[in-house]
């Protein structure tokens, strides 16, 4: 026996599905008939359970590809004792939100996650002024850069609203799987160290939280195996190492870089012609360059003529 609902065209079902939560779709339409099972598949492979009451029995574990959830919901969805991959064989992406910087739950799962996930995105809930945690940094990198990370499948890692630091360690080893990363790091030098541990990196979106007043000559790590295609660099403080950054990019990414973005706080003016000759012209495959320079020149007040000349240089 059929009902009137089954006479609706596929296009109208798709419009209805767009307005229903994925867990509600499973509860309402799964296994009613073959046609509806096929129609709801694209809407239940990628689910979000952040703001809804849900029962884990309505998560299709065998076909789930991506899930968005809160850090505290991890224990409801994933077991810490069993093999997560065998339970969720198709899962490739996890988005975690509202993560606490104090004993976050996901740390207990990170070892398993990196063996089968392709993408892991983490957004912390941090109070103002509490972004940096040295203990958290050590926990994350001790897992990601562990000696046994040859089994890692993780290609994309994004950690936002938390500031990390990275020091050289004999206990750390290169992770060859990570190709895309988005992080906030405590200093510019930590970025250079990061490049040494992620030689397969192709896309880097990084913010520098506290750039120390290091003399450019004292900073090492000037050559890397990384061949970036995309590089977005933002300083959240006055940038002391702009010249080193510029030289580092030219020295290492001149033939690979295609997309470059700067958002910098600096102490001096950037002349457009110098930028063109010292950086842009040396990046042979550059397709797009976006920039925003916030210049703080307290010692040298600018006249209208100076400003006009500076604008004309671009």
DSSP track, 288-308: EEEEEEEE--SSSPPPHHHHH
**119 token code pair:** 């993408």
Q: In what order do the strands lie in the sheet with 46-48?
A: 46-48, 66-70, 93-100, 119-125, 156-164, 180-185, 203-208, 230-238, 259-266, 288-295
Q: Are 108 and 146 in contact (CB under 8 A)?
A: no
| Phi, psi at 37, each rounded to 5° | -60, -40
DSSP secondary structure of 229-285: SEEEEEEEEE-S-HHHHHHHHHHHHTTT--EEEEEEEESS---HHHHHHHTGGG-TT
Beta bridge partners of 59: none
* 167 vs 194: CA distance, rounded Å: 9
Chain position carrying tokens 């977005």: 232
- What are residue 210's DSSP bridge partners? none
Q: Distance between CA atoms of 137 and 187, rounded to whole angstroms?
A: 13
pLDDT at 219 (0 to 100) = 63
Q: What is the pTM of this model?
A: 0.85
36-40 long-range Cβ contacts below 8 angstroms, 24+ apart: 39/10, 39/13, 39/14
For the record, the structure tokens of 105 come out as 């739950």
CB neighbours of residue 99 within 10 Å: 23
Please enumerate in sequence order all residues whose Cβ is within 8 A of that of 9, keeping only pairs 6 or more positions apart, or say none.
Answer: none
Phi, psi of 125 (to 5 degrees): -105, 105
Mean pLDDT by 10 residues, the chain (314 residues): 73 84 77 82 82 69 88 84 87 91 84 93 74 83 80 93 88 92 93 93 94 56 83 92 92 96 88 90 95 77 75 80
Name residues whose C-beta falls within 8 Å of residue 184's C-beta, 6 or more positions apart in sequence.
131, 159, 160, 161, 162, 163, 164, 206, 207, 208, 209, 236
For residue 123, give Cα distances in angstroms to 9, 72, 164, 170, 226. Answer: 40, 13, 13, 29, 26
Task: Please give the pLDDT value at position 178.
Answer: 95
CA–CA distance, 87 with 85 (Å, rounded to integer): 5
Looking at residue 218, its pLDDT comes to: 57
CB neighbours of residue 16 within 10 Å? 14
How far is the CA of 278 from the CAs of 273, 283, 303, in angstroms? Answer: 8, 10, 26
């Amino acid at each position: 026996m059929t009902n009137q609902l089954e006479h609706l065209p596929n296009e109208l079902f798709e419009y209805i599905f767009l307005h229903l939560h994925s867990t509600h779709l499973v509860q309402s339409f799964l296994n009613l008939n073959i046609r509806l099972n096929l129609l709801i598949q694209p809407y239940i492979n990628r689910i979000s359970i952040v703001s809804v009451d849900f029962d884990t029995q309505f998560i299709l574990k065998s076909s789930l590809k991506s899930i968005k959830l809160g850090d505290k919901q991890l224990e409801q969805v994933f077991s810490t004792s069993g093999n997560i991959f065998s339970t969720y064989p198709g899962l490739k992406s996890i988005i975690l939100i509202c993560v606490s910087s104090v004993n976050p739950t996901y740390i207990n799962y990170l070892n398993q996650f990196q063996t089968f996930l392709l993408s892991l995105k983490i957004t912390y809930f941090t109070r103002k002024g509490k972004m940096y945690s040295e203990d958290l940094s050590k926990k994350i990198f001790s897992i990601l850069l562990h000696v046994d990370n040859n089994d890692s499948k993780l290609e994309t890692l994004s950690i936002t609203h938390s500031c990390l630091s990275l020091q050289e360690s004999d206990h750390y080893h290169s992770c060859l799987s990570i190709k895309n990363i988005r992080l906030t790091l405590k200093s510019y030098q930590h970025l250079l160290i990061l490049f040494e541990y992620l030689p397969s990196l192709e896309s880097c979106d990084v913010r520098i939280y506290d750039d120390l007043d290091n003399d450019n000559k004292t900073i090492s790590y000037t050559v890397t195996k990384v061949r970036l295609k995309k590089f977005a660099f933002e300083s959240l403080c006055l940038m002391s190492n702009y010249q080193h950054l510029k030289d580092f990019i030219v020295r290492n990414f001149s033939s690979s870089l295609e997309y470059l973005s700067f958002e910098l706080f600096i102490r001096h003016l950037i002349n457009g012609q110098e930028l063109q000759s010292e950086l842009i012209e040396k990046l042979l495959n550059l397709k797009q360059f976006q920039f925003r320079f916030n210049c703080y020149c307290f010692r040298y007040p600018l006249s209208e003529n100076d400003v006009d000349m500076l604008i004309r240089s671009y």
